[in-house]
Amino acid sequence: AAESCCKEHLYKVLVIGDLGVGKTSIIRRYVHQTYSTNYRATIGVDFALKVLNWDSETVRLQLWDIAGQERFGNMTRVYYREAMGALIVFDVTRQATFEAVAKWKEDLDSKLTLADGQSIAVVLLANKCDQGRELTNNAIKMDQFCMDHGFVGWFETSAKDNLNISEAANFLVKHIMATE
């Protein structure tokens, strides 16, 4: 239909999770196709824009990276405001970062809901999967965890090896579009 041609969507997407799990690396890989082992943590919020051609439409993903605030384990309502989706990241080599995932999800859900009262679409990323699979090798357990905590799905990712990041983002976009 004519009205669907060239339609543009702008989605604010939050990237959250504990310090050092790879949030900035994932965004850099996804948006700038680069990877480095040393990103200086800028204090505050960083933005990156990824433009996707989605059928005949354009999707602009505004990715919100946090830096220096992770240690508090929560964010302010202002930061979450008007987000349409989120990626919650943990580091497969550090169990504690997985344990923090539920806390991040609860913080998000307690401060942000869509107009209809639903929670926004959130995908869980098990990052640094190039380093091992001990935490994620039980897919049934991971699926159950996602069901219990309201994640729409999970992916093993590696910013280092460029694994599954665009797949996870596309999956999130699909869910955002379904709830929009």
Q: Which residues bind Mg ion (CB under 5 A)?
A: 23-24, 67
Binding string, residues 129-158; x marks residues near ligand GDP by CB under 6 A: -xx--------------------------x
- Give the Cα separation of 7 and 93 in Å (integer): 41
Does residue 59 belong to the site contacting ligand GDP (CB under 6 A)?
Answer: no
50 binds, among Mg ion, ligand GDP, none (CB under 5 to 8 A by kind): none
Q: Are 65 and 14 in contact (CB under 8 A)?
A: no
DSSP state of 120: P
DSSP helix/strand/coil, 78: helix
Residue 64 or 80 with smaller CB distance to Mg ion: 64
| DSSP bridge pairs for 63 | 13, 48
Residue 59 or 127 with smaller CB distance to ligand GDP: 127
Minimum separation from the CB atom of position 154 to ligand GDP (A): 15
37 binds, among ligand GDP, Mg ion, none (CB under 5 to 8 A by kind): ligand GDP
User: Could you say which of 64, 108, 125, 127 contacts ligand GDP (CB under 6 A)?
Assistant: 127
| DSSP bridge pairs for 10 | 60
Q: Are 171 and 155 in contact (CB under 8 A)?
A: yes
Q: Identify how many contiguous H helices and E strands the chain contains and give both numbers.
A: 5, 6
